[in-house]
Amino acid sequence: MTAINRTMGRREWTMLIALSVLWGGSFFFIGVAVKELPPFTIVALRVTLAALVLHAVARVMGLGVGRDRVTWAAFFGMGLLNNVIPFCLIVWGQSHIPSGLAAILNATAPLSGVIVAHFLTDDEKMTGNRLIGVVIGMAGATVMVGPDAMAGLGTNLLAQLAILGATLSYAFSGVFGRRFKRMGLAPMVTATGQLTASSVMMVPLSLAIDQPWTLAMPGPATLGAIAGLVLLSTALAYILFFRILGSAGATNLALVTFLIPVSAVLLGWLVLGERLEAWHLLGMAIISLGLAAIDGRLLDRARAAFSGSGAAGR
């Protein structure tokens, strides 16, 4: 089995940044769609239409998704941990607490990822640099969301626990998803299978709760937002997701949570003309420092330079 790259190279960092942009854009798409469609219907459309798109692409590429029970059991396990449980918990939690507080709680995902991977894997053990970097990154995400976001902390504890439960589910999904590389499945196949399994679980849930047949036909803006959510933030994003997971591991993949608010804020500034505040820039700087600590190479160079200068001085 190919070992996980503890230190990501330029290729992995580029894919991680691209994934953060695709998932950061999902906030914009969902923000538009939720004005006309209920949450579970949006999630069901997101995973189902993305699965259909990927099935078509996989067929053109000559890739089979597989029919054996072991593979599909893994797809359903991944879909449950990576989509159904966290999506439902986040949707419910965000309906009871402010979105800023939800974003801060969601930024604990890398910490959950570090802890879960430490106990459940042999090659992604916790290190001092990684733990320090995660804490710094969480602080940066908190600063980016804004000074008023912590005001709701302590109220509606159940909703806050739901968001934290979602991050824990994501952490377990990252470790669980490592098996697809051992099974020899291409990222395209894994993404297609996971989204197909997720749609089988989400569509009945949407029908039972939202009763979408009673809704009015959404307008062009909503349909465009759903298209962006399906094609960019789901179909393409999950191909990148499984590529990063296969090469860089669950712990490094979880770092995308720190980059998503950066992408969301920059997209809002560039596309929607939203203001770029001073605390946004400060938060981005702190997140960059945290990522540098996790990566470790800059710290290693600094230690080497300090040791060299110290030796020269003696």
Is residue 42 within 8 Å of residue 34, measured between CB atoms? yes
Q: Copy the structure tokens of residue 2.
A: 């190919």
Compute CA distances 177 → 76, 162, 210, 238, whole Å: 11, 22, 30, 12
What pLDDT does 142 receive?
Answer: 78
Q: How do residues 77-115 score in pLDDT, each as one tens digit?
A: 999 999 999 888 887 887 777 666 777 777 788 888 888
What pLDDT does 172 receive?
Answer: 94
Q: How do residues 215-267 score in pLDDT, each as one tens digit?
A: 899 999 999 999 999 999 999 999 999 988 888 887 788 888 778 778 877 87
For tokens 């001073």, the residue is: 278
Confidence band (pLDDT; 50, 70, 90) for 309? low
Give the predicted TM-score (pTM) of the model.
0.80
